[in-house]
Structure 1
Amino acid sequence: MEKKNLQYEDLTLLPRRWFPLPKLDGYILREFLIKYSVLLLVFVILFILSDVYRDISDFLEAKASYRSILQYLGYKLPGNVRFILPISMLLGCMWTMATFGKNMEITAMRASGVSLFRCGGSIFVVGLIVTAVNIYFNEALVPYTERRAEEIRSEVADGRKYVQNLLTYRSTDQQRHWLFKTFTTDEAQQNVTVKTFWTDGMIDDIVLGAGDAEFDALIRQMFRLKADRILALSREERAKEIRKELKGRKVDFFANRVSYDAGKKAWTFSDGNFTSYDRNDETKFEASRGTSTMHDPQPYKSIVFNEKEIPEAPDDIMNSIKEKDDLPTLVIWDLVRRNDNMPDRVYSIYMTVFYYRLAFPWACFLAVFLGIPLATKNERTGSLMAIITAVGIIIVYIVVAQVFLVLGKGGILNPVFAGLAPTLAFIGCGAYRILHDRN
C-alpha cells in the first residue's frame, strides 16, 4: 500500500491549460469554420431549391420578371436560415471533433493538459455568436422578410395589392368581433363592422356627448317607449338611467371608412351607423336573445375610440392571420400584456410560443454542448458515425420540442415548462457529458 502511494506521489500531473492558447484555438476554429461553411452552403442551396420547386410555377404563370423572382427568394432566405443555423452548428461541431478524434488529436490535446471543455473553446464562442445572430433573425429580420415575400407574391403572382378579403378578427379579450370586407396594407380600411358591447366611455362620447337637439332625437330613436320618461329626468338622473339601459348591451358599429392614429392609439370610424341589441332577459324566446334590434341603425359622421375602448392596433389584426409561431417574441409579449382578460386557452398558446421562441435560438449553443462530448466519445468510429448521431439528436430534439409545444398550447403543460424544458434539458445533458468526460 505504501509502495502504491509512493508511486502516485512520484507522478507529475500536467496542469490544466486554459488561456491563452492562440495556436490551438486558431487551428480548431479554422477546421470548424471550413466544415460549418460547407454545411451552411449545402443547406441554403437545398432550401432555395425547395422554395423554387414549391412557388416558382405561380411566378412563371403570371409572367413575373426575374427580378421579382430573385427578390422573393431573397426575402424567403432568412426564414430558412434560422432553422439551418442550429442544424449546421451541431453537424459541423460533431464533424470537426470526430475528425480530431479519428486522428488522435483529441487524445494529444488532453494528454497535454487541455480538457475536453477547453478543446472546444473556440467553437463555444462561435456558438454564442451564432445564437445572437439567430435571435436577431427571429425577432427583427424574419417577420419583416416573410411579410415582404408574401406581398411580392400577392402583387406579382396574383396580380393584386396585398389584400386580405373577408377578414374576421376576434379580440383576445373576446369583447370585439371585427368584420372587414377587405383588409389592406394601407392605413385606412373600407366597409368595417365591429360587434362589441356598450361601455361607459362609448355612452359618454356617443350618447351623452351629443348636442341638445341631437340628444333628444337620439334618445327617442334608441329608447322609443321609454324616451319620454328618460327625457323628463334631471341631467344627472338621465345619465344614470341611460348607462343602466345601455351598458353591457351588444352593439354593432358600421363605418364606410376606418383609420388608425398610431400616435394617439385611437380608431376613427367615419360615415357609418350603429345598432344596439336586446338583453338576454328582454325577449321571451331564448333563441332570439341578443339578436333582436333595440332600435333602427343610427347614423353618425365620426366616432373616435381611444385605446381603452379598442386596445388592438392594425398590426394586432394583421398578426392574427399569421401563425403564432411566426410572431416576434416582443409582439407576443405586448399582446399578452395589453389584454388582461385574455382567455386561458389563448393565453396558453401565446405564452407557450413565447417561451419556445426564447429557447429555440439557444439550440445553436445546445449543439456545441452536445456535439463535443458525443463526437469524442468513441474516437475510432469516425466522422460518419458522428454525423449519423447528430442527425438522430436533431430528430429527437425537434420531436420532443414539438410535442411539448403542442401540450403547452393545449393547456396540458405549463407554458414556461413546455417552451423551455426541451432546450434546457438537452443543454443540461451536454454539460453533464462535458463535466463527466473532462478528466
Structure 2
Amino acid sequence: MKLIYRYLLGKLLLPLGCILTGFTLLYVIYDMVDKSSDFIEHDFPAVAVFRYYALQLPSFLTLIIPAALLLGVLYSLARLSRHHEITAMRATGISIYRLAGPYLVVGLVASAATFLINERYAPDAAWRAEQLMAYHESDPDERSEVYFAAALPLKLPRRNRDWFVERFDTRDYTMHGVTMTQQHPGGSATEYETQRALWIDGRWWFMDVTVREFDADGNLKGAPEFALQKEMTRLTENPRDFLSVIKPTEFMSAAELRHYLRRNPQLSDEVRARKRTDLMHRLATPWVCVIVVLLGIPVGAHTGRQGVFAGVATTLLFFFGYYLCQLTGEALAKKELLDPVAGAGAPVLIFLVIGAALVYRMR
C-alpha cells in the first residue's frame, strides 16, 4: 500500500512542480516586460530587479498554488485513468477513497504552506518590494527617507504607556527622538526621553536617556536622571507594535490585523467591517487548496471515460464559482450587509461540502 501511495504522489508532485515553475516564470517575464520602462527610466541595477521579484514571489505563490494544484490533480488523475491504472488498482481491492488519500494529504500540506507563507513572509515581503520600488524611483537626495516613518504616535491604554517617535527606521527598527511615558496607579508618571532606541536580542535599549518622575499633578519630582544606555527589561512592546501603525493594512498578516483591531477599538463600524473581512479572508484563503483537490479528484479520475475537455471545463466552472462566491460574500461583508465571518467563511464551507459530496459519490 505504501508503494502505491509513493507512486501516486510521484505522479502528482512532478507535474505540480513543473506547473508552479512555469506559472512563476510566466509571471516574472510578463511583469518584467510591463515594468521594463520603469526599470530603465530609473536606472534599476540588476541586483535590485532580482531582489524585487524575490520579494514579490511569496505573494505570487499564494495566488498560483491553488490553480497549479488543481491542474496537477487533473493531469495526474487523467493520465492514470487513461492508462487504466486506477481501474487496475481498484481491481486489487483498493477503494477509490483510499486512492484519493495521497491527493488529500497534498491538499492539506499545500493549505498549511499557503497559510504559513501568508502569515510569515508574503505581507512583509510585498511591503518591502513596494519600498524598494519607491527607493529607486525617488530622487537620490530623498531615497533614504523611503525607509523612515516620521512623527509616529503609539498609545497603549492597556499597558498605560504612550509613545512618540520622531523617526522610525523600518529596516532595523532603530528609533530616533523617542519619548515614552509610563502612567502609574494614582496618577503619577515616569517619562523616558532618549535620542536613540535600539532593538537588540528581543529587547529595547535606550541610548542617551533622560528619566523624569512626575506626581499626580504633573509636577516634576526631584532631578532628572541621565544614563548613556539603559536596558528596558519591562517593556513588552516589539517592532510589530510600531509597524502596525506604519504599514498599510493590505500588507498585514492575520496576526497583525488582529493586533491592529485590538489596538484600535475606536475604529468606525465601516472600517472595522472592512478590516475584519480582510482578516477572515487571510484565514479562509488557504482552504482553497483542499477545495480544489476535492473538486479535482472525481472529475480527473473519470476523464478517461468522459473526455478530458469536459472534465477540465466542469472543474474550472467549480473553481471560478468558488472565487465568485468569495468575492461576492466579502463585498457584502465590507458593506456591513453580512458578518465578516459569514462573508469570507461561508464560501469555503459551502465548497468544502460540495467537494466532499462529489468525492463521496464516486463509484
1:316/1:385 CA distance change after superposition, 3 Å: farther
CA distance in 2, matches of 1:433, 1:70: 43
C-alpha contact (below 8 Å) 1:349/1:408 kept by paired residues: yes
Change (3 A) 1:434 1:30: same
- Residue 401 in 1 paired to residue 318 in 2? no
In 2 relative to 1, CA 405–183 (structure 1 residues): closer, same or farther, beyond 3 Å?
farther
Q: Which residue of 2 aligns with 1:304?
A: none
Q: C-alpha distance in 2, partners of 1:119/1:180?
A: 59
Paired residue for 1:328? 253
Q: Does 1:25 align with 2:12?
A: no
Give the number of aligned pairs: 334
How high is the TM-score relative to the length of structure 2? Answer: 0.74
2:29 maps to 1:49 = yes
CA contact (8 A) 1:102 1:381 kept: no
Distance 1:26 1:352, change over 3 A: same
Is structure 2 residue 298 aligned with structure 1 residue 373? yes
Residue of structure 1 equivalent to 2:119: 139
Query: Where does residue 431 of structure 1 map in the other structure?
Result: 356
Once residues 47 and 144 of structure 1 are traced to their aligned partners in structure 2, the CA distance between those partners, rounded to angstroms, is 20
CA distance in structure 2 between the aligned counterparts of 1:141 and 1:169, rounded to whole angstroms:
26
Q: 2:310 & 2:151 partners in 1: Cα distance?
A: 51
CA distance in 1: counterparts of 2:35 and 2:50, whole angstroms: 12
Other-structure match for 1:65 = 45
2:60 maps to: 80
**Would the alpha carbon gap of residues 64 and 339 (structure 1) be closer, same or farther in structure 2, given more than 3 Å must change?**
closer
Give the secondary-structure state (helix, strand or coil) at the position aligned to 1:405: helix
Tell me, in whole angstroms, the C-alpha distance in 2 between the residues paired with 1:341 and 1:312. 20
TM-score (norm 1): 0.62
Instruction: Say if 1:354 and 1:419, in contact at 8 Å, map to a contact too.
Output: no
Any idea what the Cα deviations from partners look like across 1:105-146, whole Å, max 9, x if unmatched?
333333433222212222222222222211111011112322
Work out whether residues 303 and 311 of structure 2, in 8 Å CA contact, stay in contact via their aligned partners in 1. no
Give 1:315 deviation, angstroms: 4.4
> Greater CA radius of gyration, 1 or 2?
1
Q: Secondary structure at the match of 1:380?
A: helix
- Structure 2 vs 1, CA of residues 335 and 258 (structure 1 numbering), >3 Å: closer, same or farther? farther
Are residues 346 and 317 of structure 1, via their aligned partners in 2, closer, same or farther at CA, if it must alter by over 3 Å? farther
- Are residues 1:37 and 2:24 paired? no
**Amino acid of the residue matched to residue 69 of structure 1?**
V
Q: Which amino acid aligns with 1:188?
A: M
Of the structure 1 ranges 157-166 and 392-401, higher mean CA displacement relative to structure 2 is found in 157-166
Cα–Cα, structure 1 residues 367 and 112, in superposed 2: closer, same or farther, change >3 Å?
Answer: same
Question: Which residue pairs with 1:129 in the alignment?
Answer: 109
Verify: 1:109 aligned to 2:89, yes or no: yes
Give the C-alpha shift of residue 44 in structure 1.
0.5
CA distance in 1, matches of 2:95, 2:250: 39
User: What is the deviation of 1:189?
Assistant: 5.8
The answer to whether the 8 A contact 2:123-2:250 is kept is: no
- From the superposition, tell whether residues 324 and 155 of structure 1 become closer, same or farther in structure 2 (CA, over 3 Å): closer
Q: Look up the equivalent residue of 2:63 and give its one-letter code.
A: F
| CA distance in structure 2 between the aligned counterparts of 1:323 and 1:93, rounded to whole angstroms | 36
Once the two structures are superposed, the pairs formed by residues 179-218 of structure 1 within 5 Å of their partners are: 185=170, 187-188=174-175, 205=189
For 2:344, the equivalent position in structure 1 comes to 419
Aligned counterparts of 1:179 and 1:21: Cα–Cα separation in 2: 60
d(CA) in 2 for partners of 1:53, 1:171: 45
Following the alignment from structure 2 to structure 1, what is the Cα–Cα distance between the partners of residues 300 and 48?
Answer: 44
2:316 aligns with 391
Q: Which runs of 5+ in 1 are unaligned?
A: 1-19, 193-198, 210-254, 272-300, 302-310
- Aligned residue for 1:337? 262
Describe the shift of the 1:202–1:59 C-alpha distance in structure 2 as closer, same or farther (beyond 3 A). Answer: farther
Supply the distance in 2 between the matched residues of 1:410 and 1:324 (Cα, whole angstroms).
Answer: 18
Percent identity over the alignment is 27
1:58-100 deviation digits (Å, cap 9, x = unpaired): 2322222211211111111111111111111111111211222
TM alignment of 1:284-323, pairs within 5 A: 315=240, 318-319=243-244, 322-323=247-248
Counterpart residue number, 1:214: none
**Cα distance change, pair 341–405 in 1 and its aligned pair in 2 (3 A):** same
Contact 2:69 2:289 (C-alpha < 8 Å) held by counterparts: yes
**Higher alpha-carbon deviation: 71-80 or 99-108:** 99-108
**Displacement after TM superposition at 1:31 (Å):** 1.5
Task: Specify every segment of 5 or more residues in structure 2 that has no aligned partner in the other structure, as ranges.
Answer: 158-162, 211-223, 225-235
Q: Do 1:62 and 1:156's aligned partners in 2 also have CA atoms closer than 8 Å?
A: yes
* Kept in 2: contact 1:99–1:382 (CA 8 A): no
* 2:285 counterpart of 1:360: yes
Q: Which has the higher contact order (CA 8 A, sep 6+)?
A: 1
Contact 1:166 1:179 in 2 (8 A): no
